[in-house]
Copies of this chain bind each other. A is one copy, B any other.
Amino acid sequence: MSDKRETPLSTPSLQEHHCTVDLRLEKLGMVPFFQDLPEEQLREVNKKCTANHYSKGETIYRQGDSATMLRVVVAGNVKLAAHTLEGESVLLDMLQPGDFFGNPTARGRDVYSETAETQTSACILSIRLSDFREVMNRYPSVAMAVLDITTDRLNESRQRIQHLSTLPVTKRIAHILVTLGNKFGEKDSRGLLIQLPLSRKDLADMAGTSPATASRIMSQFQNDNLITSGRQWVAINNKAELLRISAK
């Protein structure tokens, strides 16, 4: 198994295009809630956006910062995390190109309730809240699409509350692996590879457990041939069985 001797994760090479206008426009059109916008309007929205490039591990904003921007992932991955005073962290969401984050809410004096950090190098579009509000006002379909996504996220979030309250750690982790597989998985010689740097600590922060426990459970899954994993990467070999574990 000498092929396990290097990260199977592909690193997005952003240097080349570095968020060109064309790429921005193309990606903007891919964002679910801009899809219905006519080409012309899209260009106008694009003009109001700023593109920023971040390298891996950079902080985009911190919880407590005043929330004046709505952001969209153009390329790369972003994770949203909340930190307690004691230094513990909770991983709230992992984002893909096309996902928005920040606060789409009107209330002016709002602050972010989470910290956004890149997990890979990434290109991020920012649009001022007031500008975005204007777009939503002019195109109700945009507002409704944002509402739909937010509602989905609320439901996911409530499901997670349910899991934290009722399921033992093993089931929670099995469920998380399946979910990540569905969202970030790519078929590969190793199985369904989760295209995302993913440490035991990340997993623990998602499952509400300790890194040690997450590690023990992953070891067990590995013994049972359900997954293959190395440092910061995981591939799923038997999704059906993981699903079964998470449910029963």
Contacts and interface: CB of A to CB of B under 8 A. Distances in A.
Contacts of A208: 161, 164-166
Interface stretch (A17-25, A119-127, A146-154): A146-154
Interface string A175-194: 00000000000000000000
Given A136-B140, A143-B140, A105 B148 contact: yes
Contacts of A155: 113
Chain A interface helix/strand/loop/mixed:
helix
Interface string A130-147: 000100111011011011
Nearest to A159: B113
Nearest to A152: B105
Contacts of A29: none
Interface residues of A, number: 41
A150 B88 CA distance: 27
Most chain B CB within a 10 A radius of its CB, from A137, A152, A161, A205:
A161
Most chain B CB within a 10 A radius of its CB, from A92, A152, A166:
A166
Contacts of A154: 150, 153-154, 157
A217 interface: no
B151 A157 contact: no
A150 B106 CA distance: 12
Contacts of A150: 147, 150-151, 154
A103 interface: yes
B153 A84 contact: no
Contacts of A140: 136-138, 140, 143
